[in-house]
Amino acid sequence: MSAGEPMSGAAATLDRPAVPARGARRGLVARLLWSELALIGGRRRNQAGLAVLAAVPVIMAVSIKLSAEDEGGGGDLFSSITSNGLFVPLAALQVEIAMFLPLAMAMLAGDAIAGEANIGTLRYLLTVPVGRLRLLAVKYLSLCVGALWGVLTVAVTGAVIGIALFGVGPMTTLSGVQIDTASALWRLVLAIGYLSAGLAALGAVGLFISTLTEQPIAAAISVMIFTILSWILDAVPQLDWLHPWLLVHHWLAFADLLREPIFWDNLLTGLGVNALYAAVFWLAAWARFAGKDITS
């Protein structure tokens, strides 16, 4: 029953699961990932969360359409919405990346380990002969897919409602240069990828927190506190030495994709910081989870 044994505790019905052949194990991992995604997608609360994420661009687009000719107000992405429907998903992402998307990520991450432990399914999961390292990898992969899922929901809903209400055409970049529709769509795709990477890095933080507790709510709230605290620290000018190391500091750099030519400096720094957070916190999650006594 020592903490060092990965299969110790109540879950250790088998002292050591029989190691299946390599090919069979890869199949198992894929199946585990698939069932994990089905689980995430099937949960009512997650579906409700996606509906909320999708509602924001719709509300924004409709209210701007109704109050049309009311120029100005809000950020630059907002004031451009009437000129091109593709600004709806971009403005919606700008709004939701601050709070809603991290909240969705926090919910998923809370469920990942702490949620399983809370309803007592974690020990059954550990009887699947894939090992804790792989299980953690599958859990993180599913969180990454979840991040893309959330961002795509916002962007696709926004693009559809935006094009329906405001039409689409050449897009005016922040640099005042127009780009054609195809390249504007490509920029939107890049923005989706960039913001998903940022959320996936937050997912690693969430996965680590999720291994610390058996209360999914506590884990989700902790991830939100981490996010909000990061935004607050990012807003304190006296801490400017810290800003480049904050995860959230680089998220709004997705607007650099809307310059002509694209300004890669901050985006690449952002991706680097994402990778750093993902690696460090995933390893910390592993350090915690691999040696944890699973009793529930």
Partner 1 sequence: MESPFRTHPRLRWAVPVLAVVVVAGGISLGTVGASADNTLGPRTPQQLLVDVQQARLTGLSGTVVQTSDLGLPDLPGLGERSSDLMSPLTGSHTWRVWYAGPDKARLALVGTLGESDVIRNGRDVWVWSSDSKSATHYTLPADRSGPASGSTPTPAPSGGVPATPQQAAEAALAALDPTTEVTSPGTTTVAGRAAHELVLRPRQGGSLVQQVRIAVDGSQHVPLRVQVFSTRRAEPAFEVGFTSVDFAVPEDRQFTFTPPPGTTVTDKGSISSADKAAPGGTAPPKASGPGGAAGADAERPRVIGTGWASVIVADTGQALEASSSGSAGGSAPGDLDQLRGVLSGLPKVSGSWGSGRLFTGTLFSAVLTDDGRLAVGAVEPQRLYDALSSR
Residues that bind partner 1 (CB under 8 A): 3-6, 75-77, 79, 83, 94, 172, 174-178, 237, 240, 252, 255-256, 259, 261, 263, 265, 276, 279-281, 283-284, 286-288, 290-291
Which residue intervals of the chain are DSSP H helices?
Answer: 22-42, 44-66, 76-79, 87-96, 100-110, 116-118, 122-125, 131-166, 181-212, 216-235, 264-290
Q: Which is nearer to partner 1, 3 or 52 (CB)?
A: 3
Distance separating alpha carbons of residues 86 and 202, to the nearest angstrom? 26
Q: Which is nearer to partner 1, 79 or 213 (CB)?
A: 79
Please, what is the minimum distance in Å from the beta carbon of residue 81 to partner 1?
Answer: 11
Q: Which is nearer to partner 1, 223 or 250 (CB)?
A: 250
Contact 108, 143 (CB under 8 A): yes
Please give the helix or strand (H or E) that residue 179 lies within, else none.
strand 178-179
Please, what is the minimum distance in Å from the beta carbon of residue 179 to partner 1?
Answer: 10
Closest CA to 109 of 230, 33, 252, 212: 212
Closest CA to 81 of 151, 158, 153: 158
Please, what is the minimum distance in Å from the beta carbon of residue 224 to partner 1?
Answer: 22
Please, what is the minimum distance in Å from the beta carbon of residue 254 to partner 1?
Answer: 10
Q: Which is nearer to partner 1, 62 or 279 (CB)?
A: 279
Query: How buried is 285 (Cβ within 10 angstroms: 0-12 exposed, 13-18 middle, 19+ buried)?
Result: buried
Number of residues written out for the chain: 296
Q: How remote is the C-alpha of 207 from its chain's centroid?
A: 12
Please, what is the minimum distance in Å from the beta carbon of residue 131 to partner 1?
Answer: 10
Look up tokens 């971009």; give the residue: 90
Q: Which is nearer to partner 1, 229 or 279 (CB)?
A: 279
Distance separating alpha carbons of residues 139 and 146, to the nearest angstrom? 10
Please, what is the minimum distance in Å from the beta carbon of residue 46 to partner 1?
Answer: 29
Q: Which is nearer to partner 1, 178 or 215 (CB)?
A: 178
